[in-house]
Amino acid sequence: MADTLFLILSVLTVATALLVVLNKNAVNAAMFLLLSLVGLAGLFVLLDAPLLAFVLILVYAGAVVALFLFIIMLLDTTPGSFKAFTPLTIAAALTGAAVLGLGIWSLVNRAALPLAPGSVPVPALKQYAEQLFTTYLLPVQVVGFMLLVAMLGVIVLSRKHDATEDAP
């Protein structure tokens, strides 16, 4: 059952990640990014890492994708404004294909992934929460404040100005 679920989640994750890259509509690409992150969170759950899955859904899917959608809708991007193939996109596609080919080649020649060490202690969720709300509370709040300032900056920059507003 776990193998079948792994295959389903991995196909979902890879397919939606490809749709993020290939989709011309920015809103649809952001929604496919959300689906890709959900598939990745499911893979984390299969690896017995529910905390990472929860943080991935909470931070990336909940905050970052919502911020992307907010910015995309504020900037009002149109699907026809993007150029399809520039020399930079061709070079990036060739580099990505080369890296993918190198990864597949290294997996085939290696024939097995190294085994994870079995004696690594797994800290409890209580210890994570204790450190998050004591030691790392200030950095988390600073990052949240920076995201708020960035969102307000996008709102100010994307506001349309009339010529009558600037006149004295």
34 located within any domain: yes
Q: Are residues 76 and 88 in the same domain?
A: no
Q: Are residues 2 and 64 in the same domain?
A: yes
- Encode pLDDT of 102-139 as tens digits: 878 877 776 565 566 665 555 676 787 788 788 888 88
- Encode pLDDT of 50-94 as tens digits: 888 888 888 888 888 887 777 777 776 665 555 566 787 788 888
Q: Are residues 76 and 128 in the same domain?
A: no
Q: Is residue 163's pLDDT more than 60?
A: no
Q: Are residues 155 and 96 in the same domain?
A: no
CB 24 within 8 A of CB 79: yes
Q: Are residues 7 and 36 in the same domain?
A: yes
How high is the pLDDT of residue 153?
A: 76
- Encode pLDDT of 15-41 as tens digits: 999 998 888 887 888 889 889 999 999
- Taking CA atoms, 15 is separated from 30, 53, 67, 132, 133, in Å, by 14, 19, 23, 34, 37
75 located within any domain: yes
End-to-end CA distance of the chain: 71
- How many domains does the chain fold into? 3
How high is the pLDDT of residue 15?
A: 92
Q: Are residues 108 and 143 in the same domain?
A: no
The domain in which residue 62 lies consists of 1-80
13: confidence class by pLDDT, cuts 50, 70, 90: very high
pTM over the 0.75 mark? no
